[in-house]
Structure 1
Amino acid sequence: MSMSWFVHMAVILHTVQVIIFTQALCFICVFVHWYSSVNIVSVPPNISSITTVAPETSSAVINITLQEGCTSQTSGGCLQNLLEQIENITAQVLPLSTVTNILMMAFNASENILESSSSANPAELASYGNLVLKSSERLISTLVKQTDTNDSVSFTLAAVEGQVFMVGPQVPFEKIPRLDTTNSSMDIDLIGIAKNSKERSAAVAFMSYNTMENLLKPDFFNTSSDTVKTMMSTVISATLPKTTNTELTKPVNFTLKHIRDFDPSGSLSCVYWNISEWIVDGCSVLKTNSSYTVCSCVHLSTFALIMQTSRPAESDSRLDLLNLVCVIVGLVFFSLALLTFALCQWSSGVNNVARINICISLLLAHLLFLLTQRFLSLIRPQQVLCAMISGLLHFLFLSGFVWMFIEAALLFICVKNLSQISSKDREVLSSGFLCVIGYVFALVVVCVSVGVVPEGYGSEHCWIKMDKGFIWSFLGPVCVILVV
């Protein structure tokens, strides 16, 4: 090879080295520039954090941290520290994604507390509830933005739902729409509040807490009478964030959907949370039915609907024993009657199909009823199972009455003819035809009842519910059978 070839190769290699060095230098400069522009928040070991940069209008950095030991089993100190960090947020406006992420973090921590400290005293629960409420209202206030006309923001999480509505000086309507969540809604004269404000603007924040009743329990509603308190709605809160004049021009109406069965004998109270207890000052029931209640309040706060019912009388052990003995004796005699009708056939002209099926229906119904009442404490929490049992009891008892009607009809035919039934009558009154009448009629009634009122089954005793007149799905056919 010639010397010139080596010279050319050396020049080429040198050029390549220069290019690589130049590119590496440029990459380092770009990396240093990018690194210096990032606001790095140091996190100690064993700390999990959510770091969120506020909008361009604010230079604050939101850094919410939760210790690693608090993620699986949160203590009261962990939750309190987390909520204090939320309260110390200085940013005035935050994006919706940031607010929802922090809310999920806070409510997950509160749920962990309930799971790990089921025996927490009422004072601690009330304190945790106050912290969660205060932090939630602080967070949702950061969703309020200035507007000349109107604007709204809403979100839905597993533990909480929220909606914020804002109006400005040039709002184009005289009344804002109703603020709705899954189980509640609110009507407020926000336009009137804005007109009385110096800035001619106002904002309302409406939140519905699906799990807050675990902290702010209905037993915190202190009354003079010893009654059973039941939370009938989700806990809701309403505030006027970033509004200078918070005086209401009209009472605020809340429509609260009942989340539990309504007892007609119970008393409903619209209450609001006051530091450590539920009280009724300034709130009243405007309208109610079996599905929802409308509460009217002259102030904004945290509200709920609580039902008071009389405490059930203590069961008499002797009466329970007597009931058990009677049901068992009835089952024995039903079994003996079933064996007698099934095994003994005195005459070929006598049809025992109706009698056998009466015994089968009532035997199964009483046996299921006995087992259900004995294990009611285990069955009642399983709402689907309880509803299925009540539907099956409805079917069995109704079948018993239908078979009684069939037996009466057969006796009438026998007495009328005073002789062996004709071949045509035998064909019409065959066992298969009778079974179709005896069971299909009851099945049709149950299916129609389920279709018309799906929630009609599954009362406190796993039987037909008494509200909405659903009991007539059983009493109606029975009365018709007895009359006919």
Structure 2
Amino acid sequence: MSLPSVPGLCFLLSLSGAEAQVAKGPCNRCPLHGSCVNSTHCTCNPGFISGSGKQFFTYPLEICKDIDECKPPISIYCGLNAECKNVEGSFHCRCIPGYALLSGDVQFNNSNENTCQNITSSKTPNGHPELQQIVNNFESLLTNQTFWGAGSKQEVASTASSILQNVESKVLETALRAPGQKIQKVQNSTVAVETRVVSDNCSEEREAFRLHTQMNSMVIHCIDVIQGRAQGPSAVAFVSYASLGNVLNATFFEKADEKDPLYLNSQVVSAAVAPRRNSSLSQSVTLTFQNLKMKPSSRKAFCVYWKITEAGGHWSRDGCFLTQVNQSHTVCNSTHLSSFAVLVAFTSQDEDPVLDIITCVGLGVSLLCLVLAALTFLLCRAIQNTSTSLHLQLSLCLLLAHLLFLTAIDRTQPKVLCAVIAGALHYLYLAAFTWMLLEGLFLFLTARNLTVVNYSSVNKLMKWLRFPVGYGAPAVIVAISAAARPHLYGTPARCWLRLDQGFIWGFLGPVCAIILVNLVFFLSVLWLLRKKLSSLNSEVSTIQNTRMLTLKATAQVLILGCTWCLGVLQVGPAGQVLAYLFTIINSLQGFFIFLVYCLLSQQVRKQYRKWFSDVTKSKSKSEIQTLSSRLGPDLKLSE
């Protein structure tokens, strides 16, 4: 056997040394609860996850944090009369108070090992069996299909509303009669209940309670449980109904449409507090539902509550907002307490393929027109002035906003990226409206100073004011909104502002204010021009040009600004028509700017003709030179 050559041996030694260094490096730097893989990477041990979410990593400052298997999206189910307890790196199941395993063990691993049985003990308060009896009494009623099938739809709704109210009342009364037992939790095959009693004031201002029944949970703030009571206990109850969704199905939705079928994708749950049955909250309650059907489309799911009416009741979306959807769970926020569920549409109610096509085509045309308009404002010297500079900045803001909307509005994952996209769109559209406000201010100052020969004061003011206001004011608004409620940037379906908690008014408020101020500016300009037209015969052309520019700017504000009002008014029977008007007009904003400020401008058309003539002459001259270079010798010979 021949030995390897010296260069080859050196190569092998260096390679093995490099491998030893690689193996030594990452494995010595694996974090706590982490281990080495293939001598090249680190990974977190079972029950832990890396801070970055990556399975394999080499970053030396990475950490491995515990996975809470008892909370969504995992939410281990331990079976009846048991609950999940998280421990570092793992979890276990334990019977709830008043129950114990037949084997005498304290804990078990999964629902298949659940043998939790009711025990009789002097330590168990009397309220616990009483609560179990209430649950058992309603079980037979809820599972009686003959009873529910005998009545009309209105009778079923009325009966269900009465049952929901009775369960809440009896459960809360039972909990308040045993204030010494702060937490009570019982369930059977149909109903699951957890109650919590608060005997004193909230220890912390932001203290919140988490109630868990079956695979559903609720987080409510302590201040909303006690409701300002200085004395006496208060209670909160969370109830899950396993079979009530078969009765109060999606046909009870107030806006049910046969063309767009719905189905209930969660159990029905109820949340209530006592002794004051106040349904309003100072802070939203968070509800987490286990999906009955896995992998629902996030764009098709929405949260509803049971609204009791004189006709019985129905599912309504008022005050309920979708927060998050994954393969196993749906998270909702609500501004009031009631009974809740999650509905899913087989085909999304909010999507229309025709609107999608109109949006894509319209935005494509707008992007092209905005590019042409920006180039015109930059290159056409005949129209370059302060007003044109304002048009240019407006065009650039709309160009970037439309481009980002077209390419990234649907990128809802990861959430941080979606929130950044929503914040960028918020900023760009606000900046566009701010530049429109500056246009109105410039026209007003110009009209007011028409009697002055030197307009330098207006131009100097605008040069000093435009960039700090045009780009600074929107940045301040977005910064305040992001600092106050960063979690409301990005929705499960779109990277835009959420509608809950009035957050959308962080955009619509400034827009409406700008539209109103600009309308006042433009009406004032028209009045000033009408007043000065009779006294300044030598400046008639200047006044008429200013008037025409004002009319164009007014139309611009109406078309670019009022379309957002159409977006807000998409309700009722005319909602579909307004949706089409909003989409068509809003997607063609760039085309409108190019049409008004470029194609309808005599100076710009003259410049376009000049450019076209220069290009034609240059092309003709180039062709003649090319032809003569090819046929030059022949031509000379013929001469």
The TM-score bracket by the shorter chain reads 0.3 to 0.5
In the superposition, the TM-score normalised over structure 1's length comes to 0.46
In the superposition, the TM-score normalised over structure 2's length comes to 0.36
